[in-house]
Each structure stands twice: as structure tokens, then as C-alpha cells.
Structure 1
Amino acid sequence: MSTSAKRTRAPKASETTAAPISHADQLSALYIREQGKTKMYKHDAWGHLETRFVRTQNVKAWEEKGFVAG
């Protein structure tokens, strides 16, 4: 029976912890990211309202998927 030693791995760059940001900063970043986009809505199979922020030129494609512009 062989014994195996546990190997440790170095954390990936994507796994490093970022400095925490405040809730207000998170909301501000979200608002900036959503500016200039169209809100699309769709009810899923469980009755939940699904929301997507899509680029204006992609509205037609999202409407074909069953979403409604809001």
C-alpha cells in the first residue's frame, strides 16, 4: 500500500481576494454598467421574473427568445 502526500497548489490569479467595496460603490458600478441598455423581462417556468439588461441593438433577438422590453 502506498502513501500519498497531500499536494498544495498555488492560488490562481482569479482566486485572489479583492478588497471589499461598500454597498453604495457596488450600486454605483451596477448603475453605470446598466446605463444605455434596455431592460428585458420574461416569466420563467416557475413564475419568477427574469430580468436582463441588453444592448439596444440586441432587443429584437431577445424578443424572439420571449422577453418583453420594459
Structure 2
Amino acid sequence: MATSTKRSRGSKPSETQTQPPVSHADQMETLHAREQGKTVMYKQDAWGHIETRFVRTQNVKAWEEKGFIVR
């Protein structure tokens, strides 16, 4: 009888959550703090979908060249 050349795999450890779940209010506060001082820019496609980007002020001109407009 032939022996298998494959190595046996050990079982993976289950993923453990290292941080407690964050409330929605805390998530929103973190998001707003991260976006502070940035310019909000929009681009609407042919289907009416609006893409939003939070851009550093010095990069506004480059994003306008891509078709985005400032809010």
C-alpha cells in the first residue's frame, strides 16, 4: 500500500475577538474625526450613482481633473 506524501494539517485556532464591539455612535465619531479638515468631493455616473471622496485640500485640483466636484 502506498503512503501519502502530503503533510497533515493541524487544526486552525479559532479567531478570537481582541476588541469589544464598538457602538455605532463611537464608529461615527471616529469617522468624523478622521475626515476633519478634508474636502468632500462628489462624482455622479450615468446611472445616477454618487461616489463620495474625502480628499486632502492640496489634492482637490487633481480630483477635479478626474471629474469630481467640490461640495
TM-score bracket for the superposition, by shorter chain length: 0.7 to 0.9
Q: 1:16 to 1:66 in 2, by over 3 A?
A: farther
How far did residue 47 of structure 1 move?
A: 1.8
TM-score normalized by structure 2? 0.75
Indicate the percent of aligned positions where both proteins have the same amino acid: 64
Q: Which moved more, 1:57-66 or 1:36-45?
A: 36-45
RMSD over aligned Cα atoms: 2.5
Can you give the 5+ residue segments of structure 1 that lack an aligned partner in the other structure?
A: none
Larger helix proportion, structure 1 or 2?
A: 1
Task: Tell me which structure has the larger Cα radius of gyration.
Answer: 2
TM-score normalised per structure 1: 0.76
Cα displacement (A) at 1:20: 1.0
- Other-structure match for 1:21: 22
Cα shift at 1:50: 0.4
Give the paired residue count. 67
CA offsets per residue over residues 29-69 of structure 1, 9 Å max, x none? 01101110000000124320000000000000000000000
